[in-house]
């Protein structure tokens, strides 16, 4: 029966360690998507692209 308690303690410690490593990897940017933004320019639809100009449009003042 004592072996069960030891194994539960070890498994909880291992689970906590893996959880800590996961959050450390997330904070360090391990899972950031670096591939998709580079590929997005190749597959961009031209119909949804809006061109903005820096020219001021005249206001209708009456």
The domain locations on the chain are 3-52
Please say if the pLDDT value at position 35 is more than 70. yes
Give the 3-state secondary structure of residue 47.
coil
What CA–CA distances, in Å, run from 34 to 17, 25, 39, 51? 27, 15, 9, 26
Percentage of the chain exceeding pLDDT 70 = 68
The whole-number pLDDT of residue 39 equals 75
Tell me, what's the pLDDT at 3?
A: 96
User: Residue 37 corresponds to which tokens in the numbers above?
Assistant: 């933004």
Q: pTM of the entire structure? A: 0.49
Which pLDDT does position 28 carry in this prediction?
A: 83
Highest mean pLDDT among 27-31, 41-45, 58-62: 27-31
């Amino acid at each position: 029966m004592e072996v069960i308690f030891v194994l539960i303690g070890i498994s909880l410690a291992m689970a906590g360690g893996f959880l800590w490593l996961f959050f450390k990897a997330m904070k360090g940017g391990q899972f950031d998507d670096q591939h998709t933004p580079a590929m997005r320019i190749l597959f961009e639809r031209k119909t949804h692209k809006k061109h903005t100009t820096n020219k001021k449009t005249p206001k209708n003042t009456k």
